[in-house]
């Protein structure tokens, strides 16, 4: 379900870095997103998604690297209404109604969408005249979404947009987002839900520890992360030698029992038997995407940290 890409960049991040004290929140991130793409920024808590989004929006300054949005500075894109965002916990005024928020934001834009259309798209028509202080968390989230849509932006940036929504609210939200994207607009959303990335994005940028661990179409990321696990008893094999076998992404050894995460389990089993003919009790199991994602993003995952500039996912490149 690729969007209508024109090949022209909506934005590019080059060598971005941002530290907070000793924490490297963003540590060498390079991404280029074409117009019309719907991109999920996926990663566990603390991976650096929100910081990357703040840098993209020009809300924070990078320590190193460059952000270009439609060829210019992020602030210019925001001021011209070309880029709009829905950030986590963006504040609403308690005593103002949902409709008044929309009116206020529309008044700051040169080419806003009609108010009725904004409210219908965001699903706030039914409670448009209620004060925001009286709305549920999910309803408030929709008001924030309406405010992001108001200026009819070419690039919509959403930080965990469904955090406060129930199941029905999520479904409606994603339908609205896809409709918006179908008109050739670019959407970037941060999430830590693999299923949301899988279902609603054309492309997934997987972050871990401030770096990009994988970047590509979901099918390719899936192929790279959802491999197989080969287990075997391998007397006297060093862990490093097992990890270096063809087709093996990571190796773990407990006593003589080896557990090899494989991008290519056929290559791995041939390599294992060639190098360690005494290997026995061999068993190969498929890993679900959810498990693979957890493994990839957990702290003890064995992936290397030097794949930050990978713009595609190669089974041997992203996971070693
Ligand atoms: N203002 C700040 N001061 C200090 N540390 C910060 C600040 N903002 C972020 N960090 C740290 O930077 C790292 C990346 O945080 P960030 O919020 O970008 O991650 P995230 O992927 O968006 O996580 P989440 O899903 O929880 O929002 C974390 O270790 C976080 O604690």
Measured from CB, residues less than 6 Å from any atom of ligand 1 are: 20, 23, 25, 43, 45-51, 192
Residue 261's nearest CA partner among 289, 302, 314 is 302
Q: What's the whole-number average pLDDT of the chain?
A: 85
**Can you say how many angstroms the Cα of residue 239 is from the centroid of all Cα atoms in its chain?**
32
- Joined tokens for residue 171: 């479904």
Which residues neighbour 320 within 8 Å (Cβ) at sequence distance 6 or greater?
Answer: 243, 249, 250, 302, 303, 304
What are the structural domains of the chain?
9-222 (3.40.50.300), 226-318 (no CATH)
- Count CA atoms within 13 Å of residue 111 on its CB side: 7
Out of 45, 46, 299, give the residue to mutate to test ligand 1, the one with the largest number of ligand atoms within 8 Å of its CB: 46
What are the pLDDT digits (tens) for 187-231?
A: 999 998 888 888 899 999 988 889 998 888 877 776 656 678 899
In this structure, the number of other CB atoms found within 10 A of the CB of residue 302 comes to 16
Per-residue pLDDT tens over the stretch 246-275 = 999 889 999 999 999 888 889 999 999 999
Q: What is the pLDDT of residues 27-82, one digit of tens each?
A: 999 999 999 999 999 988 888 999 999 999 999 999 999 999 999 999 999 999 99
Nearest protein Cα to ligand 1, atom 2: 20
The pLDDT of residue 317 is above 60: no
Average pLDDT over residues 75-103: 90
Atom 31 of ligand 1: nearest residue by CA position: 46
- pLDDT greater than 90 at residue 89: no
pLDDT tens sequence across 141-168: 899 999 999 999 999 999 999 887 888 8
pLDDT at res. 110: 87
* Assessment of whether the complete model's pTM goes beyond 0.95: no
ipTM: 0.96
Give distance in angstroms: CA of 44 to centre of ligand 1.
11
pLDDT tens figures, 171-180 = 888 988 998 9
Instruction: Give dist(CA 87, CA 78) in Å, integer.
Output: 14
């Amino acid at each position: 379900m690729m969007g209508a890409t024109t090949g022209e960049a909506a934005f590019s991040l080059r060598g971005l870095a941002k530290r907070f004290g000793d924490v490297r929140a963003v540590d060498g991130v390079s991404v280029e997103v074409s117009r019309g793409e719907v991109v999920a920024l996926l990663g566990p808590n603390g991976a650096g998604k929100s910081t990357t989004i703040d840098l993209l929006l020009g809300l924070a300054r990078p320590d190193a690297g460059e952000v270009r949005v439609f060829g210019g500075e992020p602030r210019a894109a925001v001021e011209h209404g070309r880029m709009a965002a829905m950030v986590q916990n963006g504040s609403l005024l308690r005593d103002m109604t949902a409709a008044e928020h929309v009116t206020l934001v529309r008044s700051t834009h040169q080419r806003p969408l009609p108010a009725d259309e904004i409210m219908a798209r965001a699903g706030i028509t039914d409670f448009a005249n209620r004060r925001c202080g009286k709305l549920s968390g999910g309803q408030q989230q929709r008001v924030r979404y309406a405010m992001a849509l108001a200026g009819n932006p070419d690039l919509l940036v959403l930080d965990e947009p469904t955090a406060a929504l129930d199941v029905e609210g999520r479904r409606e939200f994603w339908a609205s987002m896809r409709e918006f994207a179908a008109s050739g607009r670019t959407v970037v959303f941060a999430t830590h839900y693999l299923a949301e990335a899988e279902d609603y994005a054309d492309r997934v940028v997987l972050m871990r520890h401030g770096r990009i661990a994988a970047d590509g179409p979901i099918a390719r990321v899936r192929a790279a992360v959802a491999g197989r696990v080969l287990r075997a008893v391998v007397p006297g094999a060093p862990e490093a030698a097992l990890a270096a076998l063809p087709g093996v992404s990571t190796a773990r050894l407990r006593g003589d029992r080896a557990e090899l995460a494989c991008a290519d389990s056929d290559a791995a089993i041939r390599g294992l038997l060639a190098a360690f003919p005494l290997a026995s009790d061999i068993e190969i199991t498929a890993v679900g995407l959810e498990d693979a994602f957890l493994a990839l993003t957990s702290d003890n995952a064995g992936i290397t940290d030097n794949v930050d500039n990978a713009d595609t996912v190669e089974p041997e490149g992203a996971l070693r």
